[in-house]
Every structure is written in structure tokens, then in C-alpha cells.
Amino acid sequence: MDSFNELTIVATIPDTHEVVIYWVRANLDVDPVEAIKKAAKEYVSSPEGKKECKDDNISAFNWGDAINHLPDDLLKRHGILSFNTIRDPRQCRLVDHDEELAKVED
């Protein structure tokens, strides 16, 4: 049995048909989404986080900021073992759930 959770997070980009896909591995007893939110709150409250947000003109820390700015050691303290984005579009393809893949013959 695995000793960790794996979760795929699909983040939509408002007013587009685009998504960003994140892959997270966390300790078994951790809700990955909540843990990343807690890490983000801790980060933006820290001197380093405040400075980086000010330098990068970030007023609302979002998922894109999290993947780019949250330090690995902070994520690990919150039970996140790895947090990555799938950057290569060839690794993902958006499909219509109801697309007919094959005609069923009588």
C-alpha cells in the first residue's frame, strides 16, 4: 500500500478554455489542496514572502504563484512531498467527455 496521496489538480483560467494541471504528492493524512492553501498563507505572512509578492506585484496569491514561489521546505512542513505542473502540452489533451469514440453496431 502506498504511503502517500497523489492528486491531480486542474485549474481553469477565467474567460478562456485553458487549464493548468498540477500534480501533487502528499502524506496520507494530508488533504493536498488544504495543505497548499495553508502553506500559501504562511508564506505570504513571512518576511520573504511579503518581499517577493511586493517585488513581483502580487496582490492575490494564486495557484500559479504557489507553483512558482512556495519553497519546497515550506511545502514539506505542510505534508506536501512534491508539487509540480505539467508544462508540456503533449502530456495533456482536452477531450469532449461525450465524444463518440466508436459506433455500436446492432
In a domain, 95, yes or no: no
CA-CA distance, 6 to 84, in Å (whole number)? Answer: 11
| Per-residue pLDDT, 83 | 93
Query: Phi/psi zone of residue 5: left (φ > 0), alpha (ψ -120 to 50 degrees), beta?
Result: beta
Domain count for the chain, please give it.
1
pLDDT tens digits, 95-105? 777 788 777 78
- The pTM of this model reads 0.78
In a domain, 99, yes or no: no
Percent of the chain with pLDDT over 70: 90
In a domain, 105, yes or no: no
Torsions phi, psi of 6, nearest 5? -120, 135
Q: Which domain holds residue 20?
A: 4-88
Residue 45 has pLDDT above 90, yes or no: yes
Average pLDDT over residues 86-98: 66
Pick from 64, 86, 73, 3: nearest CA to 43: 73
Contact 29, 92 (CB under 8 A): no
Residue 27 pLDDT class (50, 70, 90 cuts): very high
In a domain, 77, yes or no: yes
In a domain, 11, yes or no: yes
In a domain, 31, yes or no: yes
